[in-house]
Structure 1
């Protein structure tokens, strides 16, 4: 995915989870921007950190810019919470993402399919008549090359995993796909200290046939693309870089 009209800026502060104040690097102008991620992202948003803004003015918008990426040390982290689903759907179609042990070859990829009380991100249908649900989760939290989810407790995520397990009992295959929105990562896990119930449910689900996979991404200020699979291990303990902030 390529974003239009991208400008570099410096982050100033974040009055609430929806907006931030930034200073454009080229002109020095102060602008109010929409943050495309309602998560905490505290380990990314430091005063004066370099950020990427996509300029998309519209009479229907309250802000002219979207904050889409943050530079952490020497690497860019995409924080757009809407992009993982689109990336995953396309990567499943073109074969960049492979679902392990899928029964058959993918013939259709459908978005936003309802099951029980959940609406899963993707329903895959295969040439053997099998169906699989894929729930996509973006991952932006990192420490020492270990990626983790979530960066804030998510009851919605817990419900999705619970109902993915129920779908297995009704004959579907079920997958949790973590799209890691940065490149330099060696493994992915669940932030157990943040949400132990989610880690427990993931672990239980894996024993019942739930497949949990992760892929990292190449990220620049104005692009993001799926890169390659990354090992997922729910037992790896994550040290939260925000614990003292």
Structure 2
């Protein structure tokens, strides 16, 4: 579990650009400029007056004193902090909450940000059999009708990662894409094909060659997030974009 400090509830007002938002603190009514810890579009989450959670982290080195970390959608909280999936993944794999299917041997080490070819993968898992596995972690915040999808905006970086995970398998590595679904109520996870058809094609190609794609959801409160359980992933699951008419 990851717990945030000094969390305050507020209402989202607007988002002038992808890095900042204007919010109104609930306890005082004060308007504050906050750092948005996710550069994705998040259009389906950021409606005027929606409830949000802010972590107060003042520093002379910062332009803003607050980080926007979670948004309330209907009655459920969605964590949008793009930095937490990697930490949750490393801890979850280490303690056995997250299982890497088909991994050969027992895990002896997990290393962060290991380079291969032109990519830097999030995790390198090593086992007692000498086997090595790359794990690329992707946060998922986009949801509609119980289906979670990635991405919410085209990602050339994500496409490159999947391409090079496939190349790594040819050199003896096991390869995984792990989606950390940053909300709890989800029935299935998939790729947002209409947003990026090339990513769907590359995932499908990788799966035929041994690439493992898995997803885990999270329990989320305004000030905590924790891995819960596996979520079925199927690249062919239909996803209806809630932002298609926005």
Shorter-chain-normalised TM-score: which range?
over 0.9
CA separation in 1, counterparts of 2:200 and 2:139?
A: 16
Distance 2:51 2:113 in 1: 34
Counterpart of 1:111 in structure 2 is: 112
1:125-166 per-position Cα deviation (integer Å, ceiling 9, x unaligned): 001100000000000000000000000000000000000000
Structure 1, unaligned stretches of length 5 or more? none
Identify the residue that residue 22 of structure 1 maps to in structure 2: 23
Instruction: Please list, as runs of the form range in 1=range in 2, the aligned pairs for 1:1-245 lying within 5 A after superposition.
Output: 1-245=2-246
Distance 1:39 1:220 in 2: 21
Alpha-carbon distance in structure 2 between the residues aligned to 1:92 and 1:110: 11
TM-score norm. by structure 2 comes to: 0.99
The structural deviation recorded for 1:116 is 0.1
Cα distance in 1 for partners of 2:230, 2:109 equals 22
CA distance in 2, matches of 1:71, 1:203: 33
Q: Quick one: distance in 1 between partners of 2:106 and 2:222?
A: 35
What is the deviation of 1:22?
0.0
Secondary structure of residue in 2 paired with 1:4:
coil
Aligned-residue RMSD, C-alpha: 0.3
Query: Structure 1 CA distance, aligned partners of 2:180 and 2:129?
Result: 27
Q: Distance in 2 between matches of 1:105 and 1:49?
A: 45
Query: Cα deviation per residue 1:62-113 (whole Å; 9 max; x = unaligned)?
Result: 0000000000000000000000000000111111100000000111000000
SS of match in other structure, 2:152: coil
User: How big is the shift at 1:237?
Assistant: 1.5
Report the TM-score when normalising by structure 1.
1.00
Q: Any runs of at least 4 consecutive aligned residues in structure 1 with deviations exceeding 3 A, and if so which?
A: none
Distance (Å, rounded) in 1 between the aligned partners of 2:100 and 2:237: 22
Name the CA distance, whole Å, in 2 between partners of 1:9 and 1:112.
34
1-structure distance, mates of 2:170, 2:205: 14
Match of 1:237, SS? coil
Corresponding residue SS for 2:33: strand
Distance 1:226 1:86 in 2: 11
Give the Cα separation in 1 of the matches to 2:106 and 2:18. Answer: 41
How many residue pairs match? The answer is 245
Q: Secondary structure at the match of 1:62?
A: coil
